[in-house]
Chain A
Amino acid sequence: MRNILVINFRKNGDIFNSLKLINSVEINDTNRAVSTLGYEEFRSAFRVLKTRGTNYFINRKKIETYFKNRIYSDALAINQFMEDINPVLSTKWDEVINFSNDQTGTLLTSIIKTLNPSCKITGLSLSVTGQVVYSDEWVRVLNDVTTMPMTTPINYLDCFYNALNIKSSSALDSVATVPENNQIAFKNFQALRSSIGPDYKALVGIQLMSSSVEKNIPIETINSLIQEMVNDTCYFPVLLIAPLKEEQELAEAINRSFGGSLTIVESDFIAAPSVLVNLDAVITPDTSIKHLCDLLDLPIVEFASAESPAFKMWTTNTSSLVVRTTRESGNYSNSDLTSALLNSLAYITGDIMAKDLVISNAFSTYIPIKDRSGLHYKNCSGIKNEVEDCSRTFSRYFFLLRNAQESDTRLLKEIFDNVGRPIFNKWAHSEKEKMTAAMRTLLSCIRNLASSRENPKAYKALVESIDVFMAVATWNNLASIPAVIFKSRFENLNQASPMAQLEEALFSAKKDFQLLFDSIAHCDEYFLTKSPSYLAKQGSTNELN
């Protein structure tokens, strides 16, 4: 049995998200046992997945309390820390997946690597001289590119699947539930379905709150949604809350305004799966419940507010839909959002087709699509942001070509179909201009590097030109991609041979620019094959043949 440790020091939503990866790692090879390491305060989230390994926890809050309170000796904090990590350090790991890639995760991964140099690492670790080591180029995309504001070319989990060379699989059968909870929930929901009668097509969970007010579905909208559902008697609303005072009070207040007629279900993470499997769909903001629904393959309508990072951690279920609003799309009315959510619900429950999904221009909807290169999101209705779509799909094409040597022409077709040639041409022209300007600054670095070898006085010019090129990383366009990757390499130059590594990083950036130009050329060539004159020419050639 290969012992694999997944380190995840993030919060509930990210833990649920990592469970899909953990399950895929185990399912792809029955000889693997995956253990996890996380913070004690998120223990209940880790308990949601059945794995062959063990869940280890660090009691961060206790360590912090001992360390930060003047009455306690630091020795107590150190003792607690060692007590928590000793079981992890004394196990011989064949592989460590640093899922969170945060500072603590990276340091711990490095300790395990130091204790066992033959242990395979996926994710970030530190070299003996303290440089950040990326286990492969997908990990670089994960850490440096997906954190750029402009786009998420490759889904977070797909970066791991690619880095580990495994296929994603459903985690549905691996979700841990308590049989007693399952029986109670099933019985209660059966009774509910019988009592509401056959007119209702679906039981729809409505998640009332998320971790931040800005991400929530506004209360007026929740009230309107419920009112519409009650009037229409098509979808039966079920209010979903956690056992928290704030949520209980909100649910009670909503219930009072409906004369106490609503169904409220309160559950913690252990009981939530037993509840959710009895629902037909869920309407939710960006919450950990959203990720739990994904684990259970339960379709959702996700409300992505302007505060939620777009594309990065959206639902991964291809039967779900994302309703997105942005700061640029301006204010929206309560009725606009209610209508958008209800229409989207009708789509995911199969009551309307995608073409009939009409929503206000304050929103856009996205469908998650999975193909052989992973998950991405297709604009489905509402306001279109062609430039963003173009940039997102194109950079996906670029990274698949760069990291997997795969020229995915379906993505070029997607740009052609969704964006069209005129807009693409305009976008490509503007991007090429910026890339050319950025390339000039890069070439200046390369020239200065060569000069500095012969003349140490040229170092100053080299440093200045590197500063100028690294500023490109903040441009938030295609030219930023090579600059961001260069920056991460530059910041981790090994002291042993910095100039040789600098040269390598600069030439690698140059290669990335070249590949970006080539990728635009691929688009041009593809579009050419779709042009009427080309098609006419092809037709006449065929006739001649």
Chain B
Amino acid sequence: MEIDVVTSRSGHLVPKVEGYQIHSVYNPIKEAAQFVENHMNKIEGHNKFLIFGGGYAYHINALAEHLATQHEGNYSIFVIEPNNELRQYCIDHNPYSKNVHYLQNTNPTDAFTNETFVKFLIQKPVLLTHQPSFNLNKSFFESFLTYKSSRNIRDLMGTIQNDDFKTALSQYEHMTVDELAVETKQKNDFSYQGLLIQTFASIAGSREEQL
């Protein structure tokens, strides 16, 4: 994507992607403050945020500034910006780098197996959308929102760290973990590896209840 950078009337740089401006060409700082104000009902009382769209990070810095006054250093923001150039700009100009992180993975499968990102996600952050960025990359963000991980064992093997468990799964790559847990029980596999699978299934619980 072609990016032009223009200077706003307030003197701040504003990227234009394929001719589409991501921030206000009048005053992006004022617009960023408005972004925080507009989302205040979602922001108050929370200290973890996932933001779709980085742009040149005016809205992110405004949010970080607000959170710093509310929670001191105890807050974190993860930003997903699919455009490499914009993301790099944000990383290079990040005054809140201790608390604001930019996800490097632009592929949902990689993102949802990124340990740091996942540990952040299970803390149930508040999702805020930077609308101009979202509109520009609608299909990308929608793929994040509707992403479903593969349940086939063959797709898990690269991420599983434990060798014993990998060995236990290696002959069953065509199955899911649920199917394997049932099969292990039915086949009366009470070997070390069979017991490992059954114990895991016993703790992880039944997925069907959730569906």
Chain A residues engaging chain B, CB cutoff 8 angstroms: 58, 60, 62-68, 70-79, 81-82, 85-86, 103-104, 107-108, 110-111, 114-115, 126-130
Contact = CB atoms under 8 A, between A and B. Distances in A.
A81 B204 contact: yes
A60 B196 CA distance: 15
A72 B118 contact: yes
A104 B202 CA distance: 6
- Return the 6 tightest CB-CB contacts between A and B, nearest first: A75-B159, A67-B204, A82-B162, A75-B156, A107-B199, A70-B148
Given A68-B207, A73-B149, A111 B161 contact: no
Contacts of A114: 191-192, 195
A161 B155 CA distance: 48
Nearest to B144: A71
30 contacts: A63-B204, A64-B205, A66-B204, A67-B177, A67-B205, A68-B204, A68-B207, A70-B149, A71-B121, A71-B147, A72-B112, A73-B156, A73-B159, A74-B151, A75-B113, A76-B113, A79-B159, A79-B161, A81-B203, A81-B204, A82-B162, A82-B164, A86-B162, A107-B199, A108-B199, A110-B195, A111-B195, A111-B199, A114-B191, A130-B190
A161 B159 CA distance: 45
Contacts of B198: 107
B199 A78 contact: no
A127 B190 contact: yes
A416 to B, nearest CB: 48
Nearest to A108: B199
Nearest to A79: B161
A491 to B, nearest CB: 14
B210 interface: yes
Nearest to A60: B203
Contacts of A66: 118, 122, 204
B188 interface: yes
A67 B118 CA distance: 13
A110 B200 contact: no
Contact of A126 (B148, B190, B200): B190
Given A67-B207, A75-B113, A78-B177, 9 more contacts: A65-B122, A66-B122, A67-B204, A68-B204, A68-B205, A76-B159, A111-B195, A115-B192, A127-B190
B9 to A, nearest CB: 41
A261 B148 CA distance: 56
B41 interface: no
Contacts of A129: 188, 190
Nearest to B200: A81
Given A77-B204, A78-B165, A81-B203, A62 B122 contact: yes
B74 interface: no
Contacts of B158: 75
Contacts of A72: 112, 118, 149
Contacts of B195: 107, 110-111, 114, 126
A511 B162 CA distance: 50
B160 interface: yes
B150 interface: yes
Given A70-B149, A74-B149, A127-B190, A104 B199 contact: yes
B118 to A, nearest CB: 6
Contacts of B122: 62, 65-66
Given A71-B149, A114-B192, A79 B203 contact: no
A72 B112 CA distance: 6
A348 to B, nearest CB: 41
Determine chain A's interface SS by DSSP, over half rule: helix
Which of B113, B158, B162, B205 counts the most chain A CB atoms within 10 A?
B162
B160 A79 contact: yes
Q: Among the interface residues B151, B188, B199, which one has the most CB atoms of the partner chain A within 10 A? A: B199
Contact of B202 (A70, A74, A76, A103): A103
Nearest to A9: B203
B77 to A, nearest CB: 19
Interface in B13-55: none
Nearest to A115: B192
Interface core residue of B159, B160, B188, B200 (most chain A CB under 10 Å) = B200
A203 B37 CA distance: 52
Interface in B126-157: 147-151, 155-157
B201 to A, nearest CB: 9
Interface centre among A73, A111, A126 (most CB of B within 10 A): A73
Given A72-B112, A76-B159, A128 B190 contact: yes
Interface string B148-186: 111100011111111011000000000011000000000
Contact of A110 (B148, B149, B161, B190): B190
A82 B204 contact: no
Q: Which of B109, B150, B155, B207 has the most CB of A within 10 A?
A: B207
Given A64-B205, A79-B159, A81-B204, A111 B196 contact: yes
Nearest to A114: B192
A82 B149 contact: no
Contacts of A68: 204-205, 207, 210
Nearest to B111: A71
Nearest to B199: A107
Contacts of B118: 66, 72, 76
Contacts of A64: 203-205
Which interface residue of A65, A72, A75, A85 has the most chain B CB atoms within 10 A? A75
A281 to B, nearest CB: 40
A480 B194 CA distance: 35
A108 B192 CA distance: 10
Contacts of B165: 78, 82
B202 A78 contact: no
A78 B190 contact: no
B196 to A, nearest CB: 7
Contacts of A63: 200, 203-204
B188 A78 contact: no
A75 B205 contact: no
Contacts of B161: 79, 82
A256 to B, nearest CB: 27
Contacts of A60: 203
Contact of A78 (B109, B112, B160): B160
Nearest to B147: A71
Nearest to A81: B200
Most buried by B among A60, A114, A127: A114
A361 B161 CA distance: 63
B121 to A, nearest CB: 8
